[in-house]
Amino acid sequence: MKSAIFKNKVKTWFSQPQNIILLLFGIVLTFSTVAPIVAIVQDTLKIHPGTIDQHLTGRVEGYTIVNYIDLFTSRLAKTNLWNPLLNTVILSVLTCFISILFGGLFAFLVTRTDMKFKRYLSSIFIFPYIMPQWTLAVVWQHMFYSNKVTGTSDGLLAAIFHIYLPSWWCQGVFPSAMVLGLHYAPFAYILIGGIFKNMDANLEEAATILDTPKWKIMFKVTLPMIKPAILSTILLVFGSAMGSYPVPHYLNLTTLSTKYISMNSTYTGEASILAIIMMVFGVLILGMNQMSLKSRKNYTTVTGKSGQLTKLTIGKAGKYVVGIVFMIITFFTSIWPIILFALETFLPNPGDYSFLYSGNLAHLTTKWWVTNQNITESGMYGQSGILYNKTIWHAFFGTLLLAVICALIAGTIGTLIGYAVAKKRRSKWANYVNNVAFLPYLMPSIAVGAAFFILFSNEHINLFNTYTLLIIAGVVKYIPFASRSSLNSMLQISNELEEAAIIQNASWIKRMVKIIIPIQKSSIISGYLLPFMTCLRELSLFLLLCTQGFILSTTLDYFDEMGLYAFSSAINLILIVTILIFNTLVNKLTGASLDSGIGGK
């Protein structure tokens, strides 16, 4: 009898797809998440030949805690640990603040006001996220550096207008946070905008009927409703800023990530401890997010009886003025870099804008595009022009393949997890799966890359420089994009919608295809597009997993570091055009896209 009840219980349990999803991905993701962590922890204890631990222990192999002792107590502790840690925290907090303020404000204006030029602005606003983050840092250098302040050649402002901006503006934490903040603002825009767009106006209308002041409605009704999106943005942006290597590297800020790379050769085990510290921060933020989730009661905003969204009127002139202000801002954050990229591919030398001072267009060149032989003269460094450069095009198709596969796998898994977690939101296992799926995102990309390298480079299996390894790392790292995007939207869907379908005997697949997915199409598509876009220009994660020339981002970084900005700028243009084509294609085929899901159209 008891066994029959048990069997029935098991059968009932398995009849719910969300349970199967949670069980399956709970197990798989535990391994894919825990294994890299174990690898890094092990690395902190391992003796590495030719590094400080060998010197301090006098042994060439085995395990030791000397790396911990040396990192925390040696006279280098301030240089190697505390200063970078402080810089990292400041950078991450500032980046979150800038991105939420800028992205959130823009999301509000697009979705809740009658601001003009929304369609254009909505499309253009995501450009900084499309571009690899350090390219904005390079643009920053080209704009603001000067011989007087940074000791380099003059940037555009110094050369043309003789404006010399102070050192804190040119290098360090401020420009790094600005660049990362602008880069991640589209994140805030997409996540917060998604909620704003789908928000039920009933609550605000009720407050209006009760004669509540507008500012009070904003702070007491509207903002609390978007709290999950703000928290998700903080989670995503904080972790990303903390793990960002290229931006602080280019803008001369020492963070845990840049230290990780610089210490890796001689202080290998200690560098891994820095990675662990970054992970601890990630786990802490995740814990804080969890506590906040526990306290909140209900964030259902989409119900069967949802009303029309009312839009705030910002005045006849105001709607144009605000629109134009944002057109100017987005011109400098989105269009200007592209103009500079395009221009760079026609300059005779990297950063050589002499045609502007001399007014002589003969100083422009097409050599970077059309040189069809391998020469070292004229600054080509043995590279063929972009149109004939096999390395660039090989990397392009490799990247495309990688991004499409990662997006499809991560998007599907993430969406399913988001759905299942939302359905079982009170279950501890669901919470666990949700967290374990999200954890890789909070780990610094460089550390995740290093961990996967260690995991898959041994005597039994060696996947270095293979798409398989990049796909595994990419999928694990990008599932959170889809799971967060999906979870946010699924939490808004009232259970009654699916229950109505169940009463009608609709199968799970039918319920998903006919009800759930159509309702939250834009968020779900975001869950595919975000991994796709991120993967296209991901560097930190893949830096250690493949060689340059294998994918576009490593090729781009190689050219940037070499100072061959014409090639890196061209790759940027290729990336932007590719993403725009895919965005348009998805838009035409499904009616949804990254930005149109939120506002604009």
Partner 1 sequence: MKKKILSLLVASSMLLAGLVGCGSSGGSGGGANSAGTGTEQAAEELTGIDAIIAEAETMTLEELAQKAIEESNGKTFYGVGNSSRGKSALPLFIEYLQTIDPNYNMEFEWQQPKNNKIFEQLTSDSLKSEGTFAMTLIQDGNQIQSKMVDTGILKTYVPKEWAEANGTTPDEYEGFLPLQTINKVFMYNNTGSAEYTNCWDFVYEGSHPLFMGVDSEIVGKNFLMMLTKDEYAGWLKEAYDALDADKKAYFEPTIKAMQSDANDLGLGANGAYALAWIKLWINNYNEQTDDGPICNTLVDKSAKDQSGLLVYSKLRSVEESSSVSVSNINVAAYQDGYTGIGGYGYSHYLFLTKNSPLPWTSCAFIAFMTTTEQGFDAWGKDMGGYSSNPEVAKAIEETYHHSEGGGDEFPAKNDRGYDWWTTDGKLVLEDPTYCSEVSFSVGSWIDVQDHYSTGEE
Site for partner 1 in 298-357 (CB under 8 A): 348-355, 357
Q: Is 549 left (phi over 0), alpha (psi -120 to 50) or beta?
A: left
Nearer to partner 1, 200 or 557 (CB): 557
Shortest separation between residue 151's beta carbon and partner 1, angstroms: 5
x/- letters, 551..570, toward partner 1 (CB under 8 A): ---x--xx-xxxxx------
DSSP for 442-491 reads HS-HHHHHHHHHHHTBSSS-B-TT-HHHHHHHHHHHHHHHHHHHHHHHHH
Tokens of 220: 């007491």
List 152, 412, 427, 587, residue binding partner 1 (CB under 8 A)? 152
Shortest separation between residue 60's beta carbon and partner 1, angstroms: 7
Residues 237-256 touching partner 1, rule: CB under 8 A, are 249-250, 252
Shortest separation between residue 134's beta carbon and partner 1, angstroms: 10
Shortest separation between residue 563's beta carbon and partner 1, angstroms: 3
Q: DSSP code of 388? A: G
Nearer to partner 1, 159 or 519 (CB): 159
> Does the footprint of partner 1 cover residue 591 (CB under 8 A)?
no
Residues 178-237 touching partner 1, rule: CB under 8 A, are none
> Does the footprint of partner 1 cover residue 158 (CB under 8 A)?
yes
> Does the footprint of partner 1 cover residue 58 (CB under 8 A)?
no
What span, in angstroms and rounded, lies between the C-alpha atoms of 274 and 454?
17
List 457, 468, 495, 584, residue binding partner 1 (CB under 8 A)? 457
What span, in angstroms and rounded, lies between the C-alpha atoms of 193 and 308?
16
Shortest separation between residue 127's beta carbon and partner 1, angstroms: 24
> Does the footprint of partner 1 cover residue 166 (CB under 8 A)?
yes
What span, in angstroms and rounded, lies between the C-alpha atoms of 192 and 464?
38
> Does the footprint of partner 1 cover residue 72 (CB under 8 A)?
no
Residues in Cβ contact with 495 at an 8 Å cutoff, skipping those fewer than 6 apart: 423
Nearer to partner 1, 318 or 348 (CB): 348
Shortest separation between residue 397's beta carbon and partner 1, angstroms: 16
Closest CA to 379 of 354, 407, 346: 346
Shortest separation between residue 205's beta carbon and partner 1, angstroms: 54
Is residue 133 classed as helix, strand or coil in its secondary structure?
Answer: helix
Is the Cβ–Cβ distance between 52 and 447 less than 8 Å?
Answer: no
List 7, 9, 55, 296, residue binding partner 1 (CB under 8 A)? 55
Burial of 484 (0-12, 13-18, 19+ CB in 10 A): buried
Range in contact with partner 1 (rule: CB under 8 A) among 33-41, 107-115, 505-513, 550-558: 550-558
Closest CA to 244 of 253, 141, 131: 253
CA atoms within 13 A on the CB side of 555: 27
> Does the footprint of partner 1 cover residue 376 (CB under 8 A)?
yes
Range in contact with partner 1 (rule: CB under 8 A) among 6-14, 51-59, 304-312, 399-407: 51-59
Is the Cβ–Cβ distance between 556 and 132 less than 8 Å?
Answer: yes
